[in-house]
Amino acid sequence: MMRCRIAIVGGGLAGLAAANALRTHGIKADVFEAAAELGEIGASVNCSPQAVKALNAIGVGKQIAAIGHRSPGPYTRNMLTGEFLEYTDRFEMAERYGAPYYCFHRADLIDALAEPLDRSTIHLGHRLTSVDIHDDRTTLHFANGAQVEAEYVIGADGVKSVLRQALYGDDNPTFTGQMVWRALLKAEDVPTDAVGPHGHTQWVGPGRHLIAYFIRQGDLLNIVSQVDTDKWVEEGWAIKGDPDEMRRSFPNAEPRLAKLLESVKECSKWGLFTRPITDNWGTGRIQLIGDAAHAMVPSAGQGACMAFEDSYILGRWLAACKDPAEAFVNFRRIRIPRVHGVQRLSNANNRFKHMDNAEVQKKAIQAGGGTHGKINWVWAFEPEAEWDKEPVVPAIYAGG
Ligand SMILES: Cc1cc2nc3c(=O)[nH]c(=O)nc-3n(C[C@H](O)[C@H](O)[C@H](O)COP(=O)(O)OP(=O)(O)OC[C@H]3O[C@@H](n4cnc5c(N)ncnc54)[C@H](O)[C@@H]3O)c2cc1C
């Protein structure tokens, strides 16, 4: 049986970022990933300045700068009329917060996170199936028959986390009643002006929104949408969809969007799962991070960003505390209030982006909320200066 001091279960965005964070402090960890290969097909991820700072601080700044696409920022339009609602200037934001806002292809980002790591510490084809929790260690059982004894475990195994299930039983993710359509177009197949003027447009409308933006230095256009539905849709990164069904999900779309949807020849779909806001983030020798701890609807584009902040801050606490279990307690004390605030913000954005009443929506934007809600406090976070500080969360998102 293999033995290790720290096992990271899940080699996705959170798991690989955590491995880098530990590496920068000379802390050895082994990563156990279910998939036979690292990386994912198709999807993309936006990363706001504070999360870029966390990625820089875990030593992958050079790698992400080489693959990140910098959009000038999204134009938001009404889905039915095409009326311009809001422009978020990401170049100005980058100036203000001191770091860029990147759009990544996920597979590129996974490669960038894996690059600095010692490949012999990444164990592919290891799907965790069950866990025995003892006082002094945890035994991990994998589908391939392997068993690993770990003194401490970081659970980064995503929204359907097996580690979470082992700790909290039926604290399962639930279907949100929303599904996602996703498609990728080659730049040359994108109709002229459909996503003008900057190649980044968000349409918001009754019960749905859709965002289209370039990735891979402008070679590909990523289309991702969220649609309210009463049909159950499975979760998974590679469930094939029907482009006609996708088009039918956006009835009466304004001409630019209709033209863009006409160009879609292949698409995928999946159901959005989340869980109630909870303090169930781990205990004792096991710490959950990323979606395993705090899955959220993607309406603020912060799920992965929070995973990157988690990774940096967990690394700092592990370096600062002799006892990793004490580091985990401190990590939860600092992280939980901030991430709960971001989960509440994401829920509020979701309601706003799917409003039936376009006039109310427009007034809310004019009143200063914007399509991202009041999010400056999220983007203004300084991971290196604030990793050990009690977070400040605006009252409207602080709960209680
Ligand atoms: C449509 C959509 C758009 C999004 N856009 C953004 C965005 O723009 N910006 C942003 O910040 N966030 C975004 N997010 C959220 C973001 O994708 C997630 O928060 C992020 O992927 C979480 O990373 P993770 O590593 O915790 O989980 P995952 O990315 O799900 O990775 C989990 C890893 O664990 C592995 N695994 C799972 N089970 C096991 C097991 N039993 N044993 C071993 N390994 C296992 C998986 O194979 C995977 O590699 C979006 C989400 C969606 C759905």
> Is 136:233 a contact under the CB 8 Å cutoff?
no
* 91 domain-assigned: no
CA distances from 234 to 64, 279, 319, 353 (A): 31, 26, 39, 23
Query: For the chain, first and last CA: distance in Å?
Result: 46
Among the listed ranges 272-276, 301-305, 334-338, which one has the minimum average pLDDT value?
272-276
| Gap between the Cα atoms of 321 and 305, Å rounded | 25
Show which of 274, 292, 324 is a domain's final residue.
274
* 303-324 as b/e: b if 16+ CB within 10 A: bbbbbbbbbbbbbbbbeeeeeb
Show which of 233, 258, 274 is a domain's final residue.
274
How many domains in the chain?
A: 2
Residues 344 and 212 in one domain: no
pTM exceeding the 0.75 threshold for the entire prediction = yes
Residues 262 and 284 in one domain: no
> Is 267:183 a contact under the CB 8 Å cutoff?
yes
* 66 domain-assigned: no
43 or 207: which leads in pLDDT: 207
Give mean pLDDT, residues 270-293.
92
| Gap between the Cα atoms of 361 and 351, Å rounded | 10
With tokens 């209709």, the residue in question is 258
Name the pLDDT band for 43 (thresholds 50, 70, 90): confident
- In this structure, the residue with its CA closest to atom 19 of ligand 1 is 303
Residues 363 and 385 in one domain: yes
Name the pLDDT band for 291 (thresholds 50, 70, 90): very high
- Mean of the per-residue pLDDT values of the chain: 92
The atom of ligand 1 lying closest to the CA of 272 is: 53
> Is 94:146 a contact under the CB 8 Å cutoff?
no
40 C-alpha to center of ligand 1: Å?
A: 10
Based on its alpha-carbon atoms, the radius of gyration of the chain, rounded to whole angstroms, reads 21
Q: At what angle do helices 13-24 and 303-320 cross, to 10 degrees?
A: 30
Residues 258 and 371 in one domain: no
45 lines ligand 1 (CB under 6 A): yes
Which has the closest alpha carbon to 261: 196, 313, 189? 189
Containing domain of residue 262, as a range?
174-274
250 C-alpha to center of ligand 1: Å?
A: 26
DSSP state of 78: E
Show which of 274, 296, 323 is a domain's final residue.
274
| Gap between the Cα atoms of 121 and 144, Å rounded | 17
* 217 domain-assigned: yes
CA angle, 35 as apex, 34 and 38 as ends, to 5°? 120
Residues 160 and 304 in one domain: yes
Residues 182 and 300 in one domain: no
What percent of the chain lies above the pLDDT cut of 90? 74
74 lines ligand 1 (CB under 6 A): no
13 C-alpha to center of ligand 1: Å?
A: 6
205 C-alpha to center of ligand 1: Å?
A: 26
Residues 235 and 353 in one domain: no
128 lines ligand 1 (CB under 6 A): yes
DSSP string, 81-139: T--EEEE--HHHHHHHHTS--EEEEHHHHHHHHHTTS-GGGEETT--EEEEEE-SS-EE
Instruction: Tell how many helices (H) and how many strands (E) occur in the chain.
Output: 15, 18
Q: What residues does 77 pair with on adjacent strands?
A: 84, 203
Tell me the torsion sign for CA atoms 71, 76, 77, 78: positive
Name the pLDDT band for 170 (thresholds 50, 70, 90): confident
Q: What residues does 181 pair with on adjacent strands?
A: 225, 269
Residues 149 and 205 in one domain: no
> Is 9:305 a contact under the CB 8 Å cutoff?
no
* 82 domain-assigned: no
Q: What is the pLDDT of residue 196?
A: 83
Q: Is 152 a catalytic residue?
A: no
- In this structure, the residue with its CA closest to atom 21 of ligand 1 is 304
Name the pLDDT band for 371 (thresholds 50, 70, 90): low
| Gap between the Cα atoms of 14 and 18, Å rounded | 6
Look at residue 214 and give its three-state secondary structure.
strand
* 100 domain-assigned: no
What percent of the chain lies above the pLDDT cut of 70? 94
* 210 domain-assigned: yes
Residues 7 and 132 in one domain: yes
> Is 104:71 a contact under the CB 8 Å cutoff?
no
CATH number at residue 188: 3.30.9.30
Residues 389 and 328 in one domain: yes
Q: What is the pLDDT of residue 381?
A: 97
299 or 210: which leads in pLDDT: 210
Residues 181 and 162 in one domain: no
CATH number at residue 363: 3.50.50.60
| Gap between the Cα atoms of 7 and 22, Å rounded | 11
Residues 307 and 269 in one domain: no
Q: What is the pLDDT of residue 13?
A: 97
* 337 domain-assigned: yes
Burial label, 54 (beta-carbon count in 10 A; 0-12, 13-18, 19+):
buried
| Segment 314-323, tens digit of pLDDT | 999 999 999 9
